[in-house]
C-alpha cells in the first residue's frame, strides 16, 4: 500500500544519507528482525552491505540453506555463511548446565562474528564503518528500563551489547522506531516471504536450549527432524471456526529433546529409544503463557509421524504446563 511504500522510500533515503559511501556489516540470524533489517538496508545500499550468517549447528532443519537461498539467491545480497557447527558442538561437549550452555553459545557467537567482521574490514576497499542491527522499539524500551532492574536472572539472553564499540563500528538500527507488527508489514512489503516474516520466535541459543543437558550432534539431528514434522503439521491443520492454521493460532511451538530412553515395541521387536516433548503456547507478551489446546487429531498425526519417520525416537509427549510456573523453553 501507499503508506508502506512511502515509509520504505523514506527509510531508504535515511539509510543512504547516514551511510554515504561507507560499508555496513550485519549479523543475519534467520530471525524476523535481522532479516527485515537486511532486506531494507540492501534495498537502500545494495553491495555496500555485507551480511554475516553464523551457523552454530543448532538451527532448525534446512534453516541455513533457506537463509542463503533467500538473501544470496533471491535478493542477491552479499552473505558470508560461517559454518561453525564443529566449533560450537566441540565447546559444548560435556556441558549440561543451562546457563553455562547459554554463556558458551553467546560467547562463541560474538567471537566468530568479530573474527569475520575483522576480516571484512581488512579486505574491503571501502571504509567499513557500520554495524547494522535489527533492534526494534520494544528492545529499546527493554534495555533501558524495567528489565535491568530485575534482581534474579532467570535466563540470560544473548543479545549482544558493546559489540559496535569493540569493533570500532557505528550502529545502524533502521527498525528502532517500529513495533513487531510494523516490522512484519515492512518485511512483506520488501518482498520477504510471508512464511519467513510471520515465524514464531526462535531463541538465540537455538536447539542448544531445546536439548536438555549435554548437547550432542546426534541429539540435534534427531530433534531437527522431529521438530520439522511438528511444525509442518501445525501449518497443515486448520481450525474450522477461525479458518486459521494451528501455526497461526499458537505464539510459539517447538519440540524438546529429552536425553532419556524408554521402551517401545515396533513390529516384532523391542525398541529402547529417546523421548521428545511437544510444546505449544499462546501468549501476548511471552511473560505469561498458556499451553495450547491443540486438537487431538493433530497431536495424533504428529506423534505417529515422528515415531514412524524418526528412527531413534519411540515416544512423544505433550507439555501441559503454563508459564508461570513453568517457562516456555525447557532450559
> From the annotation, which residues make up the binding site for ATP?
29-35
Query: According to the binding rule CB under 6 A, does residue 236 interact with ligand XMP?
Result: no
Residues 151-190 as x/- pattern, contact with ligand XMP by CB under 6 A: ----x-xx--------------------------------
Query: Quick one: 91 or 262, whose CB is closer to ligand XMP?
Result: 91
Contact (Cβ atoms closer than 8 angstroms) between residue 129 and residue 120: no
CB of 268 to ligand XMP, least distance (A): 41
DSSP 87-115: HHHHHHTT---HHHHHHHHHHHHHHHHHH
Q: For ligand XMP, which stretch binds (CB under 6 A), given 59-67, 85-93, 128-136, 198-206?
A: 198-206
Helix (H) / strand (E) element for 325: namely none
Give the chain's length.
331
First-to-last C-alpha distance (Å) of the chain: 42
Cis omega (within 30 of 0) on the bond before 157?
no
Bridge partners (DSSP) listed for residue 81: 53
Query: Quick one: 64 or 203, whose CB is closer to ligand XMP?
Result: 203
Query: According to the binding rule CB under 6 A, does residue 203 interact with ligand XMP?
Result: yes
- How far apart CA 278 and CA 262 sit, in angstroms, is 16
Binder to ligand XMP among 252, 255, 303, 314 (CB under 6 A)? 252
Helix (H, G, I), strand (E, B), or coil: what is residue 86? helix
Query: Quick one: 34 or 303, whose CB is closer to ligand XMP?
Result: 34
Q: Which residues, 40 to 79, sit near ligand XMP by CB under 6 A?
A: none
- How far apart CA 199 and CA 253 sit, in angstroms, is 10
CB of 190 to ligand XMP, least distance (A): 23
- Distances, alpha carbon 286 to alpha carbons 63, 108, 201, 206, 271, in Å: 24, 27, 10, 17, 38
Query: According to the binding rule CB under 6 A, does residue 5 interact with ligand XMP?
Result: no
Query: According to the binding rule CB under 6 A, does residue 323 interact with ligand XMP?
Result: yes
Give the strand pairing for 269-282 and 290-291. antiparallel
- How far apart CA 113 and CA 27 sit, in angstroms, is 8
Q: For ligand XMP, which stretch binds (CB under 6 A), given 10-18, 184-192, 233-241, 321-329?
A: 321-329
Query: According to the binding rule CB under 6 A, does residue 90 interact with ligand XMP?
Result: no
- How far apart CA 320 and CA 308 sit, in angstroms, is 24
Query: According to the binding rule CB under 6 A, does residue 205 interact with ligand XMP?
Result: yes
Query: Quick one: 74 or 157, whose CB is closer to ligand XMP?
Result: 157
Residues lying near ligand XMP in the complex (CB under 6 A): 102, 155, 157-158, 201, 203-205, 252, 286, 323, 327-329
Amino acid at each position: 500500500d501507499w503508506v508502506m511504500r512511502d515509509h520504505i522510500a523514506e527509510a531508504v533515503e535515511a539509510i543512504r544519507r547516514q551511510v554515504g559511501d561507507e560499508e555496513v556489516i550485519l549479523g543475519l540470524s534467520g530471525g524476523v528482525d535481522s532479516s527485515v533489517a537486511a532486506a531494507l538496508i540492501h534495498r537502500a545500499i545494495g553491495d555496500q552491505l555485507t551480511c554475516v550468517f553464523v551457523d552454530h549447528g543448532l538451527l532448525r532443519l534446512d534453516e541455513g540453506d533457506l537463509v542463503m537461498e533467500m538473501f544470496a539467491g533471491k535478493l542477491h545480497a552479499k552473505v558470508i555463511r560461517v559454518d561453525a557447527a564443529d566449533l560450537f558442538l566441540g565447546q559444548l561437549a560435556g556441558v549440561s548446565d543451562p546457563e553455562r550452555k547459554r554463556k558458551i553459545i553467546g560467547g562463541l557467537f560474538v567471537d566468530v562474528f568479530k573474527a569475520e567482521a575483522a576480516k571484512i574490514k581488512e579486505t574491503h576497499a571501502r571504509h567499513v564503518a557500520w554495524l547494522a542491527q535489527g533492534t526494534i522499539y520494544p528492545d529499546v524500551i527493554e534495555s533501558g528500563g524495567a528489565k535491568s532492574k530485575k534482581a534474579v536472572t532467570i535466563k540470560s539472553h544473548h543479545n549482544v551489547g558493546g559489540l559496535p564499540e569493540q569493533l570500532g563500528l557505528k550502529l545502524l538500527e533502521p527498525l528502532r522506531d517500529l513495533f513487531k507488527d510494523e516490522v512484519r508489514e515492512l518485511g512483506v512489503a520488501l518482498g520477504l516471504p510471508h512464511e519467513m516474516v510471520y515465524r514464531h520466535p526462535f531463541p538465540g541459543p537455538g536447539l542448544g536450549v531445546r536439548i536438555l543437558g549435554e548437547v550432542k550432534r546426534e541429539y540435534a539431528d534427531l530433534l531437527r527432524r522431529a521438530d520439522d514434522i511438528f511444525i509442518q503439521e501445525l501449518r497443515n491443520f486448520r481450525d474450522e471456526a477461525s479458518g486459521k492454521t494451528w501455526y497461526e493460532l499458537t505464539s510459539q511451538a517447538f519440540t524438546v529433546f529429552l536425553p532419556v530412553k524408554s521402551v517401545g515395541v515396533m513390529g516384532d521387536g523391542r525398541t529402547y529409544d529417546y523421548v521428545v516433548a511437544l510444546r505449544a503456547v499462546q501468549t501476548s507478551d511471552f511473560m505469561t503463557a498458556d499451553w495450547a489446546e491443540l486438537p487431538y487429531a493433530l497431536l495424533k498425526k504428529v506423534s505417529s509421524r515422528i515415531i514412524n519417520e524418526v528412527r531413534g525416537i519411540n515416544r512423544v509427549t505433550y507439555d501441559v504446563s503454563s508459564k508461570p510456573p513453568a517457562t516456555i523453553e525447557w532450559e
